């Protein structure tokens, strides 16, 4: 009986480590929903990742990374790099809570799917980047 508990404990520890290790602060890409996207690291270098989550629900795959120590200039450089790679602004920068949010997107390589990347930046705080791939169409934000 003790052997089974030990094996179960090791298996549980392995699963926790595997889940926690789903993102590397030095990975040049983020893989989600069959897409390979340039990571923050690929543009601004290594930044500390303080949180990760990954989910797959009906027709939608999401990866969310929380960074510490990202400046607004670094985030803007990353966003500009993605826009030069064909992403369109789908939500202009807007104040949300104690920070600001922004979203860009483009057609995915799989027909009928899109890639959305949402950013939430708190000055002096954390930066959250959410990558999502699922069915949809891109509607660029228009200024009125």
In the chain, where are the structural domains located? Answer: 24-135
The pTM assigned to this predicted structure is 0.81
Q: Which residues contact 17 (CB under 8 A, 6 or more apart)?
A: none
Q: For residues 29-55, give the mean pLDDT.
A: 95
Q: Are 112 and 63 in contact (CB under 8 A)?
A: no
pLDDT at 18 (0 to 100): 37
Mean per-residue pLDDT of the chain = 86
Tell me the C-alpha distance between 96 and 47, whole Å. Answer: 23
**Model confidence pLDDT, tens digit, residues 103-142:** 999 999 999 999 999 999 998 889 999 999 999 998 877 7
pLDDT at 9 (0 to 100): 45
Tell me the C-alpha distance between 88 and 142, whole Å. Answer: 11
The pLDDT > 70 percentage for the chain reads 82
pLDDT at 15 (0 to 100): 41
pLDDT at 36 (0 to 100): 96
pLDDT at 33 (0 to 100): 92
pLDDT at 5 (0 to 100): 58
């Amino acid at each position: 009986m003790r052997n089974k508990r030990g094996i179960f404990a090791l298996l549980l520890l392995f699963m926790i480590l595997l889940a926690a290790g789903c993102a590397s602060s030095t990975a040049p890409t983020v893989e989600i929903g069959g897409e390979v996207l340039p990571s923050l690291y690929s543009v601004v270098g290594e930044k500390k990742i303080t949180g990760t989550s990954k989910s797959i629900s009906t027709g939608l795959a999401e990866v969310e990374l929380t960074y510490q120590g990202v400046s607004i200039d670094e985030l803007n450089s990353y966003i500009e790099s993605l826009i030069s790679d064909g992403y369109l602004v789908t939500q202009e920068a807007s104040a949300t809570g104690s920070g600001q949010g922004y979203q860009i997107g483009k057609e995915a390589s799989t027909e009928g799917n899109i890639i959305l990347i949402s950013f939430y930046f708190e000055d002096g705080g954390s930066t959250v980047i959410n990558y999502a791939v699922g069915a949809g169409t891109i509607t660029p934000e228009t200024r009125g």
